[in-house]
Amino acid sequence: MELKRLRLGRNEERRLRGGHLWIYSNEVDNAVTPLKSFTQGEQAIVETHVGKAVGVAYVNPHSLICARLIGHGEQRLDKSLLVHRLNQALALREALFDAPFYRLIFGESDLLPGLVVDRFGDHLVVQLNTAGMDAAREAIVEALIQVLEPASILLRNDSSMRRLENLQKEVVVAYGRPPEHVELIENGVKFLAPLHDGQKTGWFYDQRPNRAWLKKYVAGKRVLDVFSYIGGFGVQAAAFGAREVWCVDSSESALALVRKNSECNGVGERMTCVEGDAFDVLKTLKEDGERFDVIIVDPPAFIKRKKDVAEGINAYRRINEAAMRLLGQEGFLLSGSCSMHLQREELIDILRGASRQLERHLQIIEEGMQGPDHPVHPAIPETRYIKAFMSRVYSP
């Protein structure tokens, strides 16, 4: 069946020709091709205001980003294109990692906008974050089975992005029997991650290279992991030789897995878990006179939308300052942010401001971003979202 055409306003193809994939609803020539004539997730040929084809996109008349290109050529999103793109993505990950634990598909950056696939060995966790990807779910599942022969595929379609796309939230088994917990290995350390009810896909592969930094800093040290989730940083710190590790999180089930994960790695005795609001817990630790040599602060996104920037920056400032107060005479602070609306310069300024407040000297000694299984699309700044700094903080 032939695809309908979606006409852009004058000059609105420029950003797309420059590599970008998104079309905003105000960029469409609604008089010629009314958005409301498209069904949610329908594919279309995008054309310039004089009718020249730009590429194929899927359309969502209900979303501010009303269409996303799946390529600049003529290919439409079907099983054959999916198999091709999956193989291209797989080739990169297989070259990067020696074990099958990674983000296999990172949406726009892997030219599959709105699709996320995390691989845990034989088990796959998928997020269909847009109407276009939701409409292609059968082809996606078939293509994944063909390329990877997995034991199971779970659709974690419960991200907040789905609301913007007029989609229901759901968690659905698409293939096989996804286990409750899945094993993975990261930086040589074993973990169990919860597939059905964990955060996002169950595990944050994005911080892998920044977690590896810990090897150089933690041997024999006392470590605090704030917003630990299931112990990504904290359990690795213990496995890398920390004398003692404290993990802080508000989720009881996350901390239960911190305990399990530290036991799996034979470091259970060095682990202490504290359940509670991180802001309160850090205050109490200070009052109790606790001190740490290395502190990790890797919070959830405090800035979800642009309008939350001021409030979010304030939260990052308060938590980083509270953490710095718990460092001894000399200590190391690993500060991360996954808010795409927080600029790296802003996080640097937060660290600077907090250290001045405490009359300490702060030196940034490492800077990181998300791992290479989350490639950056050069035209889409939102795809570069993780910031991470390792700093030494001391009294001069």
Residues that bind ligand SAH (CB under 6 A): 199, 204, 207, 227-229, 232-233, 249-251, 254, 277-278, 298, 300
| Residue 170, both tokens | 């759901």
Q: Using DSSP, state whether 16 is helix, strand or coil.
A: helix
Nearest 5°: the CA angle 117, 121, 125 is 30
- Name the residue nearer to ligand SAH (CB basis): 23 or 258: 258
Which CB atom, from 166 or from 199, has the smaller least distance to ligand SAH?
A: 199
CA–CA dist 106, 114 (Å, integer):
8
Minimum distance between the CB of residue 192 and ligand SAH, rounded to whole angstroms? 13
- Residue 229 C-beta: closest distance to ligand SAH, Å: 4
Least distance between ligand SAH and beta carbon 394 (Å)? 25
Instruction: Kindly tell me the burial class for residue 345, based on how many C-beta atoms sit within 10 Å of its own C-beta (0-12, 13-18, 19 or more).
Output: exposed
247 is catalytic: no
User: For residues 360 and 387, which CB has a smaller minimum distance to ligand SAH in the complex?
Assistant: 387
Beta bridge partners of 316: none
**Residue 36 main-chain phi, psi, to 5 deg:** -75, -5
Of 78 and 277, nearer to ligand SAH (C-beta) is 277
Compute the distance between CA of residue 363 and CA of residue 352 in angstroms, rounded to an integer: 9
> Which residue, 228 or 339, has its beta carbon nearer to ligand SAH?
228
Catalytic residue among 66, 247, 273, 338: 338
The count of residues in the chain is 396
Q: How far is the CB of 228 from ligand SAH (least distance, A)?
A: 6
Sheet holding 170-176, edge to edge: 101-106, 115-120, 123-128, 152-157, 170-176
Please, are residues 214 and 294 in contact by the beta-carbon 8 Å criterion?
yes
- Tell me which residue has its CB nearest to ligand SAH: 232
Q: How far is 47 from 49, CA to CA, in rounded Å?
A: 7
Residues 6+ apart with CB under 8 A from 239: 188, 189, 265, 267
> CB-wise, 277 or 311, nearer to ligand SAH?
277
Tell me how far, at minimum, the Cβ of 317 lies from ligand SAH, in Å: 15
What is the spatial distance between Cα 108 and Cα 138, in angstroms, rounded to a whole number?
Answer: 20
Give the nearest distance from C-beta 191 to ligand SAH in angstroms. Answer: 9
Task: Give whichever of 283 and 291 is closer to ligand SAH, judged by the CB atom.
Answer: 283
CB of 230 to ligand SAH, least distance (A): 7
The helix or strand, by DSSP H or E, that contains position 182, with its residue range, turns out to be strand 181-186
DSSP at 208: H
Residue 166 — left, alpha, or beta (φ > 0 → left; ψ -120 to 50 → alpha)?
left
Q: For the chain, what is the largest distance between any 2 Cα atoms, rounded to a whole number of angstroms?
A: 71
Identity of the residue numbered 126: V
Active site residues: 338
